[in-house]
Structure formats: structure tokens, C-alpha cells
Amino acid sequence: MKTCYIDRTRDYYRAQGFSTDYTWSQYDETPFATLGKPLNASRVTLVTTGVVEADIPKPIRTAKHYAFSDVPEAFFTEELSWDKTTTHMRDRSSYFPVEILRALEEEQFIGDIAPRFHFVPTEYSQRLTIEQDAPSIVGACLEDEVDIAILIPL
């Protein structure tokens, strides 16, 4: 059975005494575009919620862009809501598969990897995500001529 995370987190915060349930994003329409070129000619990037700069306080983190050559050995993940009872975050590949992506580039399964990957904060405010973080990432992807951006939220 699939876990209903919306219900699970709602109940968890109610148990903490919060009286107003979080309103999750909901849209009637979803943007979509076909790729328009072969995969082995496509440029790929990754978007992660894993934190690169842990010294930036969580409430003021914004979307940021980093060179793939600067991928950290381990992202800072302790403040994020992952299943801390069932699993661990000691394997970067389980949430940020850069080594596998590089292998797929080497194998010419994809065209190439973009110059930069992107961090997006797990922002409570949908307004800030829509008005600031998402446009920042889209803008950077356009600059880098990205064809496929893969968002891998923790």
C-alpha cells in the first residue's frame, strides 16, 4: 500500500498542537513539452533539496546553482524530513546520483551533463517557491541550455 504522506504529515503536526493544516500545492493543469531531440543529444541537470551550504540558516535558504565540479561528498540533510527511522543518508547516490549520471554520459546514453546542478529549499511558502526559487532554477537551466532537469526531492 502506498503511504499517504499528506495525511501522515497532517496528523503529525496536529499531534504537535498545530491547528491549521498545511495546504499542499494543487494545480488543474501541468505544463508539458516533448523533448524534441534524442536522449543521447540531450543535456541533463539535477535539482536537489539536499543542502550544500549548511551555514546558511534554513529559514533564509534560497534556490542556488553550483558547478557539478563542486558537488559535495555529502549534502547536509539532517534538517530535512526524510525517514530517519527506516534509513540513512550516508550514500549520496541514493538521493543525488552524479556518479551514475557521469557514467551515462560516458556511455553516450545522454548527450552531456550541464555545467551546474541546482539546490531548491524545502520552502513552506508556495509564493516564495513560485515567485523566486522556481524562476531562478528555470533561468539557470535556460542559461546552461539544459534539455532535461530532474528534480529529486529528498
Contacts with another protein, residue ranges (CB under 8 A): 1-6, 8-9, 11-13, 15-18, 24-35, 38-39, 42, 44, 57, 59-60, 62, 77, 80-91, 93-95, 97, 100-101, 103-104, 109-110, 123, 125, 128, 132, 148-154
Smallest distance from the beta carbon of 16 to another protein, in angstroms?
A: 3
Calpha distance 86→22 (Å, rounded): 25
Q: What Rg, from alpha-carbon coordinates, does the chain have? A: 17
Residue number with CB closer to another protein (65 or 120): 120
Smallest distance from the beta carbon of 24 to another protein, in angstroms?
A: 5
Other Cβ atoms closer than 10 A to 136 = 16
Residue number with CB closer to another protein (65 or 123): 123
Phi-psi region at 144: left, alpha or beta (left = phi > 0; alpha = psi -120 to 50): alpha
Smallest distance from the beta carbon of 119 to another protein, in angstroms?
A: 15
Residue number with CB closer to another protein (123 or 144): 123
Report strand pairing: 116-119 vs 148-152.
unpaired
Looking at residue 106, the DSSP 8-state letter turns out to be H
Other Cβ atoms closer than 10 A to 23 = 7
Residue number with CB closer to another protein (94 or 145): 94
